[in-house]
A = this chain, B = another copy of it.
Amino acid sequence: MKKTSLKDIAQQAGVSTALVSYVLNGKEKETRVGEAIAHKIREIAKELNYQPNHLAKSLRSGKTYTIGLIIADISNPFFANIARVVEDEAKKNGYTVIIGSCDEHAEKSWDLLNVLINRQVDGFIIVSCEGSESQVHYLKERNIPFVLLDRHFPEIQTDFVATNNYKASYDAGIHLIQSGYSRIGIMAYKSNMYHMEERVRGYKHALRDNHIEFRDSWLKEVHFESMDSEVKTAIDEILASEQRVDAMIFATYGLAINALKYINELRLKVPSDLAIVSFGQAEVFDLYYCPITYVRQPLEMLGKTSVEFLLEKLKTPDEGMKQILMEAKLIARESSKPKPAALSG
């Protein structure tokens, strides 16, 4: 039972494939196909349950209506959700998305890029990982349309859609300070990715603007790959420092999860022993005995806009760069509630 093709319909109708193609693509008007025959063709197509072969279409047209979505880490619920949004938005526009996770490895990202290029995706949406600058340059050179999502490289001119991480982190810091905390630590990934640097920078400026002297021992940078062990060490150290912190910002969801587990092991009470603000939304933060204050990034908007940008780029490739920074929102919960001492002070 082979799939029915244009040819089959043409044969049954006793016409050429051209007519069938015209009719089934709604071009009967422009190409002046006869009423009767057009009707007949549609009937037969329905009867034979004709489904066009996308491969052939794409080969001919050079368009696959497929978007490659390369994500730095799909196990992160933030990215998983953003992937969903992208998929939905793309589907609405008749595009299919092929998702790949590079698990924060630039090499894997190269592989994915090549696989997807071979599959002739029309363009890419990319959550870049560290060390993938060359890939971005490659895409630019090859003139392959793409939009960077959530993370971008300030030194490379590209389209991008991202969060204002500096501001988000600054806000997180201010919030803690206003809640009465003054010795505030931050845990981030050891990385020279811009979004991560911005988060640290925002935090530092929040301290500075409130005349709190930043101390090196308050900044803990851990490696993504060995997060499990390094987080524990980092927590131990940051709590042992002579100026013991009374609050912490976690620059990512993954860090927060890991740290909270350890904090539980240590029997530390949140927020009385340690207040917490974290990046990244997830159900988990509702479920923790003390609901975690978190920075909510505009997930839906980020995803939607990235698709929008890309589709526009596909339509009119020569329009200028589109770049946007969106504001995150701090959701204040119990884990950073005003320090009792601060109320009277």
Contacts and interface: CB of A to CB of B under 8 A. Distances in A.
Interface in A208-239: none
Contact of A51 (B53, B99, B114): B114
A95 to B, nearest CB: 10
A94 to B, nearest CB: 9
A87 interface: yes
Interface stretch (A21-29, A72-80, A189-197): A72-80
Contact of A98 (B53, B84, B96, B143): B96
Interface string A107-123: 00000001101111000
A75 B81 contact: yes
Contacts of A260: 287
Contact of A54 (B77, B119, B287, B289): B119
Centre residue among A54, A100, A286 by max chain B CB count within 10 A: A54
Interface stretch (A56-64, A165-173, A299-307): A56-64
Nearest to A257: B283
* Interface range for A: 35 or more
Contact of A101 (B75, B84, B120, B284): B84
Contacts of A58: 55
A343 interface: no
A87 B1 CA distance: 29
A142 interface: yes
A283 B261 CA distance: 10
Contacts of A77: 77
B54 A56 contact: no
Contacts of A283: 257, 284
B51 A118 contact: yes
A264 interface: yes
A252 B114 CA distance: 38
A51 B117 contact: yes
A42 to B, nearest CB: 18
A2 to B, nearest CB: 10
Interface of A: 1, 51-56, 58-59, 64, 74-75, 77, 80-81, 84, 87, 91, 96-101, 114-115, 117-120, 142-143, 257, 260-261, 264, 283-284, 286-289
12 contacts: A1-B143, A55-B64, A55-B119, A74-B80, A74-B84, A75-B84, A87-B99, A91-B115, A99-B99, A261-B286, A264-B287, A284-B287
